[in-house]
Structures are given as structure tokens and as C-alpha cells.
Amino acid sequence: NAGVTQTPKFRVLKTGQSMTLLCAQDMNHEYMYWYRQDPGMGLRLIHYSVGEGTTAKGEVPDGYNVSRLKKQNFLLGLESAAPSQTSVYFCATRRSLASYEQYFGPGTRLTVT
């Protein structure tokens, strides 16, 4: 039981390049979230999903896209990376509508030069 895993752990991109971050969970949780963490700030919500095939915008969605084709996977895409997207990205899951707790993955550190 791995919980929440994220790949890759680290990545360096050049401005304008694209990439996809993968979040995978084996807990059969309905809800999945993508947050970014910047120095001196709390985590901020990028996008979230309330179930397979559904996605919605969070606080800071610009420059990102997401997909949830399978319940266990939530993908975060950067179509044209910018230096402002240098950050640590965390995925989180929540079991169901009735639950409150969110469980986080280990993070992906992304640097855009």
C-alpha cells in the first residue's frame, strides 16, 4: 500500500517546454488535488477533481491543465513552462464527500530556467 505517489521527484525545464506530473493513489479515494508550494507561503490549490472524469479550477489555475481519466491517477500538465512555475508541487487525496482529511504525496520539485 503505497498511499500517494508522485513522479517525477525532480525536474528541470527550459522556458517554453512542456511536461506532465503524475499523481497516483491506491486508496480508492474520490477526491484528488494539486497544490503548489512556494518559499514562505502556504500551499495553494491549482486544480482539483471530485471523481473520475471530472476536474475543476482552484485558486491559481493559469498555465496548468489537468486530467483524471482513471480514478487512481491525476495528471498535472504544463503546456509552456515559465520561470514563475518554479515550485514544489504536491498532490493530495480525500476519501469521499463525507470525509475531511487530505493526504499528501511526497512532492515534485520543478525548476524552470
Partner 1 sequence: GENVEQHPSTLSVQEGDSAVIKCTYSDSASNYFPWYKQELGKGPQLIIDIRSNVGEKKDQRIAVTLNKTAKHFSLHITETQPEDSAVYFCAASRDTGRRALTFGSGTRLQVQP
Cell of 47: 486544480
Which CB, 17 or 88, lies closer to partner 1?
Answer: 88
The residue among 15 and 54 lying less far from partner 1, judged by its C-beta, is 54
Q: Is 84 helix (H, G, I), strand (E, B) or coil?
A: helix
In DSSP terms, 89 is beta-bridged to: 36, 108
For 34, other C-beta atoms within 10 Å of its C-beta total 28
3-state secondary structure of 32: strand
Minimum CB separation of residue 54 from partner 1 in Å reads 10
Q: How buried is 19 (Cβ within 10 angstroms: 0-12 exposed, 13-18 middle, 19+ buried)?
A: middle
Contacting residues toward partner 1, per CB under 8 A: 4, 31, 33, 40-45, 48, 50, 56, 58-59, 90, 94, 97, 100-107
Q: How far is the CB of 6 from partner 1 (least distance, A)?
A: 8
Distance (Å, rounded) from C-alpha 44 to C-alpha 36? 5
Q: Which is nearer to partner 1, 51 or 63 (CB)?
A: 51
CB of 26 to partner 1, least distance (A): 16
Q: Among residues 17 and 27, whose Cβ is nearest to partner 1?
A: 27
CB of 107 to partner 1, least distance (A): 5
